[in-house]
Amino acid sequence: MKRYVVLIAYRPGEWEQASAEERREYFDAHHAFERYVDEHGRRLSSGALCDADTATTVHPGRSDERVVTDGPFVELAEQVGGYYDVELPDLDAAIAAARLMPAAYTVEIRPVMVIEGYESV
């Protein structure tokens, strides 16, 4: 099994403007994705993120000082709006799962790396 983080990008405001019926389609598509993952692997965690304008970024400062700013670390037309952390057999399975997501999404599949010698506390 391989571990992937599936990042969901969407246009800000799309969800707010969605009608009740459109929201149901979003839910159905997410359910289809989740069912696929459960059948072929497993879900580790997931989350829908608040809009990027609620983000706070902590930057490396000039010296040791860290700088705190309002907003996300990159400003793009599309923002990361949610993620799934999953285990699936391979990239083909991850692509097949991602195809089930709502059509408005751009979905990025990132393999999770194992860092040798590092153990989480």
Q: Which residues bind other proteins (CB under 8 A)?
A: 1-2, 4, 39-41, 88-96, 109, 111, 113-114, 116
Please give the distance of CA 81 from its chain centroid, rounded to a whole number. 6
Residue type, 80: V
Least distance from other proteins to the Cβ atom of residue 41, Å? 8
36, containing H or E segment: helix 20-40
Angle subtended at Cα 27 by Cα 94 and Cα 92, rounded to the nearest 5 degrees = 10
If the CB atoms of residues 4 and 10 are measured against other proteins, the closer one turns out to be 4
If the CB atoms of residues 115 and 121 are measured against other proteins, the closer one turns out to be 115
Least distance from other proteins to the Cβ atom of residue 108, Å? 12
Least distance from other proteins to the Cβ atom of residue 80, Å? 19
How does DSSP classify residue 74? Answer: S
